[in-house]
Amino acid sequence: MWTVQRRRERATLVVALLVCCAGAILEVEGGEKVYTKSFFSPVFESSPGNVFDPHQNVEFPEGHLALRTFTCEVVDADTGEPIPLSELYVHHWFLHKFGVKKGFKALLSSAPLPAPHLPRRYATHYLRKPLHRMAFRPEAQPVQGRLKRRQVCADDEDDLGDDPFAAGAESRNIELSFPAPYGIVTGDMSEYEEGYEEAWYLNLHTIDLRGVVDPRGCFECRCDLYNVTVDVDGHPLPDDYKGGLRCCHHLTNCALKPGVQAKPRRAQFKYTMSWVDYDESVRPVRSYFLDATDSRASVYDRPECKGEYDIPKCTNGTTHEECIHTLQSVEGLPMGGDLIFAVLHQHSGGLGGSLFNEAGEKLCESLPIYGQGDEAGNEAGNEAGFVVGMTFCNPKPGSVNIRTMEALRFESNYSNILNRTGVMGIMKLYVAQTVAEEMEPLAVRDIEQVVNSAE
Ligand SMILES: *[C@@H]1O[C@H](CO)[C@@H](O)[C@H](O)[C@H]1NC(C)=O
Ligand SMILES: *[C@@H]1O[C@H](CO)[C@@H](O)[C@H](O)[C@H]1NC(C)=O
Ligand SMILES: *[C@@H]1O[C@H](CO)[C@@H](O)[C@H](O)[C@H]1NC(C)=O
Ligand SMILES: *[C@@H]1O[C@H](CO)[C@@H](O)[C@H](O)[C@H]1NC(C)=O
């Protein structure tokens, strides 16, 4: 497969291999010291039907660094072998960075939380609010300081933080990779207030599909299969909420076939990164999410992102060609630049997504790769019927430029030959400050016009 191919190519570049620095491998590539290391999340024990969705403090490379590559997968903690999605489905994961008081990061606990009864501005669907999902000891309140940056889909002024690493079931076959001198800069202590240090939290959402009545219903989080009436915050579910993250939260269970007996399995998230020490030559990469559910009318309006959506069954066709559901949004990046990497996140049933600039030119098309392995879907990395990878865009740096608050049109397609709940259409963009001079900012304009002219 192409990812395997890529790794082989990389391997041929190795000039020297040394084990150093807290177990990291050091390779010298193009005169540069590149470190690589695999990290593991805490082990969790999953039984058939179980959902885990905790936030946990996890290990991360120490120091002021520029991260070059990232890969991950969920493995059996006892054998180290990859666990197929048909057994343990990875709904999503993300690594979230922020500052905490020195000495306290290991003391922060994770979900579930007592109901905070937060107001919900986003109708029935769920918007990720990582900080609200974590229980902080009073002495360890996170600070953001200069780390604070407005995200495309930030839902309020204090939606802080930065999560450059996030994806779902497709992760196993995607290598996030930035060419030198680009990288995601971490451990920059000037971002934090005195007395604080950088901490990384993993939110990994898994659903144990062994022996369940309806695997697709379970990973589309259909509420009737979870027997829940309130969400993780204790809010009653609206009558018209049929499925999505509000029904498959931490420690819920999906309905099992009668008499299912399977041993609990010890699992953990394995994430492998390579990095270089930060110096002046590094070109920092920023990350953004574009969300197809953003329903704002204009890039200058407040974002209205829901994170997930439902798709009604198509009524006028019977094939995947006839039944395509398209959801599109118009969004702008708070800070533009050169596009370095872009990749889509969709669930099973996804048919891909595209990003267009304001002039209507396609900047990136990213398509799901479906597993072709054995019928039972047991071949890890190639599970039949599951989205096991995504094609991505990594244009030559400098060749694709996105302007600050340019109206980007993002469309997400799904097959609606079946109805679906809780699907996602999220494009992850990695952008670096442009090498050329910053272009003139765009004037305020009517978004209808932009959408129309793009068609
Ligand atoms: C569903 O939940 C109710 C209470 O919330 C419980 O009484 C019932 O046994 C549950 N049903 C199943 C099938 O788990
Ligand atoms: C089916 O209906 C949808 C809107 O309901 C439309 O977008 C689509 O083009 C129709 N497909 C066919 C094959 O007529
Ligand atoms: C999405 O669907 C639309 C309408 O059928 C089609 O024009 C477009 O090419 C599709 N995009 C992708 C990425 O498949
Ligand atoms: C579509 O979803 C609704 C509820 O969300 C369900 O009642 C209906 O049976 C579903 N239809 C099909 C064809 O799956």
Write the residue with the smallest CA distance to atom 8 of ligand 4. 419
- Nearest residue to 168 via CA among 369, 31, 347, 411: 347
Which H/E stretch holds residue 216?
A: helix 215-219
Question: Separation of 422 CA from ligand 3 center, angstroms?
Answer: 20
Same domain, 21 and 154: yes
Average pLDDT over residues 372-378: 86
pLDDT band at 97; cut points 50, 70, 90: confident
The pLDDT of residue 102 is 80
How crowded is residue 277: how many other Cβ atoms within 10 Å of its Cβ?
14
For residue 439, being part of any structural domain is answered with yes
How crowded is residue 106: how many other Cβ atoms within 10 Å of its Cβ?
9
The pLDDT of residue 143 is 54
- Nearest residue to 245 via CA among 342, 120, 150: 120
The C-alpha atoms of residue 424 and residue 453 are separated, in whole angstroms, by: 26
Average pLDDT over residues 217-230: 94
How crowded is residue 23: how many other Cβ atoms within 10 Å of its Cβ?
10
How crowded is residue 134: how many other Cβ atoms within 10 Å of its Cβ?
21
Q: Using a 6 Å cutoff on CB, does residue 318 contact ligand 2? A: no
The pLDDT of residue 300 is 87
Lowest mean pLDDT among 72-81, 100-109, 292-301, 397-406: 100-109
Question: Separation of 347 CA from ligand 4 center, angstroms?
Answer: 18
List ligand 3's pocket residues with C-beta within 6 A: 324, 326, 351-354, 365, 411, 413
Lowest mean pLDDT among 51-65, 91-105, 135-149, 167-181: 135-149
Average pLDDT over residues 17-33: 79
Structure-token pair, residue 51: 């959902």
Same domain, 245 and 343: no
Same domain, 174 and 211: yes
Average pLDDT over residues 198-227: 94
Answer yes or no: are the C-beta atoms of 308 and 293 closer than 8 Å. Answer: yes
Question: Separation of 413 CA from ligand 3 center, angstroms?
Answer: 6
The pLDDT of residue 125 is 57
CATH of the domain at 346: 2.60.120
For residue 9, being part of any structural domain is answered with no
Question: Separation of 302 CA from ligand 3 center, angstroms?
Answer: 27
Count of structural domains within the chain: 2
Is it the case that residue 187 has pLDDT exceeding 80?
yes
pLDDT band at 155; cut points 50, 70, 90: low
Last residue of a domain, one of 277, 298, 320: 277
Same domain, 257 and 317: no
Question: Separation of 194 CA from ligand 1 center, angstroms?
Answer: 50
Q: Using a 6 Å cutoff on CB, does residue 322 contact ligand 2? A: yes
Write the residue with the smallest CA distance to atom 7 of ligand 4. 242
Last residue of a domain, one of 277, 311, 340: 277
Is it the case that residue 51 has pLDDT exceeding 90?
yes
For residue 1, being part of any structural domain is answered with no
Which H/E stretch holds residue 217?
A: helix 215-219
The overall average pLDDT reported for the chain is: 83
Same domain, 131 and 87: yes
The C-alpha atoms of residue 385 and residue 402 are separated, in whole angstroms, by: 35
Tell which one of 311, 366, 413 to mutate to probe ligand 3, the residue whose CB is within 8 A of the most ligand atoms.
Answer: 413
For residue 55, being part of any structural domain is answered with yes
Question: Separation of 426 CA from ligand 1 center, angstroms?
Answer: 34
Contacts of 136 (CB under 8 A, 6+ apart): 108, 142
For residue 127, being part of any structural domain is answered with yes
Same domain, 146 and 98: yes
Same domain, 376 and 300: yes
Same domain, 59 and 174: yes
The pLDDT of residue 334 is 87
For residue 4, being part of any structural domain is answered with no
pLDDT (tens digit, 9 = 90+) per residue, 257-267?
999 988 899 99
Write the residue with the smallest CA distance to atom 11 of ligand 4. 419
- Nearest residue to 179 via CA among 407, 394, 357, 2: 394
Q: Using a 6 Å cutoff on CB, does residue 205 contact ligand 4? A: no
pLDDT band at 305; cut points 50, 70, 90: confident
The C-alpha atoms of residue 299 and residue 288 are separated, in whole angstroms, by: 15
Average pLDDT over residues 208-219: 97
Same domain, 216 and 311: no
From the CA of 351, give the closest atom in ligand 3.
14
Q: What percent of the chain has pLDDT over 70?
A: 79
Average pLDDT over residues 76-80: 97
The pLDDT of residue 12 is 43
Higher pLDDT, 240 or 125: 240
Write the residue with the smallest CA distance to atom 5 of ligand 4. 242
Is residue 155 classed as helix, strand or coil in its secondary structure?
coil
For residue 238, being part of any structural domain is answered with yes
Write the residue with the smallest CA distance to atom 1 of ligand 4. 419
Structure-token pair, residue 274: 């390579």
Last residue of a domain, one of 254, 277, 300: 277
How crowded is residue 435: how many other Cβ atoms within 10 Å of its Cβ?
11
Same domain, 121 and 227: yes
Q: Which domain holds residue 216?
A: 14-277
Is it the case that residue 16 has pLDDT exceeding 50?
no
Tell which one of 237, 313, 315 to mutate to probe ligand 4, the residue whose CB is within 8 A of the most ligand atoms.
Answer: 313
The C-alpha atoms of residue 411 and residue 425 are separated, in whole angstroms, by: 8
pLDDT band at 376; cut points 50, 70, 90: confident
CA separation (Å) from 75 to 90, 102, 203, 264, 302? 11, 31, 16, 14, 40
How crowded is residue 253: how many other Cβ atoms within 10 Å of its Cβ?
19
Pairing of strands 24-29, 362-366: unpaired
Question: Separation of 91 CA from ligand 3 center, angstroms?
Answer: 24
Same domain, 88 and 136: yes
Higher pLDDT, 220 or 301: 220
Same domain, 231 and 165: yes
- Nearest residue to 340 via CA among 405, 384, 394: 394
Q: Using a 6 Å cutoff on CB, does residue 396 contact ligand 4? A: no
Find the ligand nearest to 253 CA.
1
The pLDDT of residue 321 is 80
How crowded is residue 236: how many other Cβ atoms within 10 Å of its Cβ?
9
Lowest mean pLDDT among 125-129, 187-191, 269-273, 445-449: 445-449
Average pLDDT over residues 360-374: 96
From the CA of 317, give the closest atom in ligand 2.
13
For residue 7, being part of any structural domain is answered with no
Is it the case that residue 19 has pLDDT exceeding 70?
no
Q: Using a 6 Å cutoff on CB, does residue 362 contact ligand 4? A: no
Is it the case that residue 106 has pLDDT exceeding 60?
yes
The pLDDT of residue 384 is 93
- Nearest residue to 60 via CA among 40, 79, 78: 40
From the CA of 222, give the closest atom in ligand 4.
5
Tell which one of 322, 326, 365, 392 to mutate to probe ligand 3, the residue whose CB is within 8 A of the most ligand atoms.
Answer: 326
- Nearest residue to 283 via CA among 175, 165, 176, 184: 184
Average pLDDT over residues 422-449: 70
Question: Separation of 279 CA from ligand 3 center, angstroms?
Answer: 42
The pLDDT of residue 436 is 60
